[in-house]
Every structure is written in structure tokens, then in C-alpha cells.
Amino acid sequence: MATAVRAMRGGLPSQNQWSSVMPLSDIPYWYTRAVQTVMRLADQAENWDGYGSLNIQIPARTRANELLAILSINGASAPHIAPLSGGGLQFEWEFAGRELELEILPTGDIDFLTTSPNGEMLQGEVPDPKKQIPLLFGWLITGEFTTAASYLENRYATSP
């Protein structure tokens, strides 16, 4: 049986809490505005685009708020937030010619799409945002997936 060593220190915040909050002192400048944008979009009535679109579904709204918290913790920059016709939301970033889109489906599931400067695209699901968001953001900033590469290659299809 292997043995692991972990550092431990007194005074760490309680980790057994289930309901999660973001302390105001840890919130980046864009967070409150982003939360308000999600709330505003979620409050739109059906047919908000004049083409019969659904309003933002509750699971999508809840997941969007969770995602904003994860993004904040990971030092992400402000996303561009847009509603989707089926009742979901989309978060978008662009950096150094690279684009990252996170599509929050009406069910609350998340899909991602990355587009490299040469047009290469990679898409797939984000089943565990806490694990995969840092990797996707790492790619946006550096252009490399580092430890994410093998995971993504095994799990997702690529298209030229």
C-alpha cells in the first residue's frame, strides 16, 4: 500500500461545508457584474429574441453561477456572456488569437469548444468543471493543454 504525504496547517477554512460561497474579499472585479448579467438574462421571458426561444432554464442558471465561482477561484478573466436560443448560456473568451467557448446547456451540462489561431478546433464535454476549467484556461493563456492533453485526446474528437 502506497503512502502519501500532505502538508497540514492549523487554521485552514472548513472543508466539510456543502453549500458553497465566494467570500467578497476573494472576488475579482468582474464577478459581481457577471453574476448580475446571468441574473438579468435568466429573468428574460420566453421568446426573448422574437424567434420563440426558451428562457434560460434553472439548471443552466445554477450551473452558470457555479461556473463563475470556479472561474473566479482560478483567476480567469471576465467572460463574455450570451444567451442561447434553447434555454442555455454561453461564456466566451479570446486571447492571443485563441478562442474558448463554454456552452451551458439547458440541462446544466457544459460543452467546450477551443479554436486555435490556425483554425484547429477541439470540442467536448466538461463533466467536472472544477478539474477541467483550469486546464481549458491554461490552454487559452499558453496555447498548451499540458496535463490536459492526454485526457482530452483520449476523451474527445478533434476536427481540423
Partner 1 sequence: MRDVSPLEQMRSQSLALPDFDEPPVVETLLDVAFTPLAAWRIPHFGLFWQLIKSDYPQVEDQPPILLQRERFGEAADKPTTFEFQFLQQPEARCWFISNSQSQLIQLQNDRFILNWRKIPAEERYPHYDSIRPNFEFEWSRFFDFLTRESLGIPEVQQCEIQYINHIELSGWQSFTDLFDPLTGWPGGRGASALPKPHDMAMTTTYVLPDNRGKMRVSLQPAIRNVDGKPVIQLSLLVRGKPELSSTASILEWFDGAREWLLKAFAEFTTEKMHITWKRRD
Residue selected from 7, 45, 96, 157 as contacting partner 1 according to rule CB under 8 A: 7
Report in angstroms how near the CB of residue 149 gets to partner 1 at its nearest: 22
Residue 54 is placed in which grid cell? 426558451
Give yes or no for residue 119 binding partner 1 (CB under 8 A).
no
Min dist CB 105 to partner 1, Å, is 18
Q: Is 118 in the site for partner 1 (CB under 8 A)?
A: no
Using the CB atoms, write b or e for 84-103: b if 16+ within 10 Å: beebbbbbebeeeebebbbb
Tell me which stretch binds partner 1 (CB under 8 A): 2-10, 81-89, 97-105, 149-157: 2-10
Say how many C-beta atoms besides its own lie within 10 A of residue 37's C-beta.
20
User: Is-contact 76 67, C-beta < 8 A?
Assistant: no
Distance CA 144, CA 152 (A): 12
Q: Which is nearer to partner 1, 58 or 121 (CB)?
A: 58
Contacts of 160 (CB under 8 A, 6+ apart): 119, 120, 121
Stretch 48-87: interaction string toward partner 1, x if CB under 8 A: -------------xx--xx-xx------------------
Stretch that binds partner 1, among 27-35, 80-88, 132-140, 144-152 (CB under 8 A): 27-35
> What are the phi and psi torsion angles at 154 (to 5°)?
-75, -30
Binding site for partner 1 (CB under 8 A): 1-12, 14-25, 27, 31-32, 35-36, 38-39, 61-62, 65-66, 68-69
